[in-house]
Amino acid sequence: MTITAALVLFSVTWFMVFFCVLPLRFKSQAQMGKVEPGTPRSAPAEAMIKPKVKLTTLITIVISVVLYLLITSGRWGIADVDVFGLWANRY
C-alpha cells in the first residue's frame, strides 16, 4: 500500500467516524431553553468539537491500523470481493 493510499484510507475513515461521533452528547438550544436569535431551535447549545475531534482521531487510528493490516496481509484479493464476476478473467 502506498503512502497516498494509506492517507486516503485514514482520511475516509476519519470522516466516517467523525460523522458517527458528532451526535454524541448533543443538546439542542431548544432542550437547553435558550435559543440564540438568528439560529434554528435545533442548533447545538455547545458543539464540543475539540473533544470530539480527539476521540475521532483515537478511534480512527485503531480502525485504520486494523484495516491496513487486513489489506496488506495478502489474505484477500480482488477475486475475493468480485461478487458479480466482472474481474474473473483479469486476475
Total domains in the chain come to: 1
Is residue 89 in some structural domain? Answer: no
Q: Is 5 exposed, middle or buried (0-12, 13-18, 19+ CB in 10 A)?
A: exposed
Asked, for residue 91, whether it belongs to a domain, the answer is no
Is residue 14 assigned to a domain? yes
Residue 86 lies in a domain: no
User: DSSP labels for 44-87?
Assistant: BS---HHHHHHHHHHHHHHHHHHHHHHHHTSS--GGGS-SSSSS
Around Cβ 47, how many Cβ atoms within 10 Å? Answer: 11
Residue 17 included in any domain: yes
Question: Looking at the whole model, is its pTM more than 0.85?
Answer: no
Residue numbers of the chain with a pLDDT score lower than 70: 88-91
For residue 38, being part of any structural domain is answered with: yes
| Domain span at 73 | 3-80
Report the pLDDT value the prediction gives residue 63, as an integer from 0 to 100.
Answer: 97
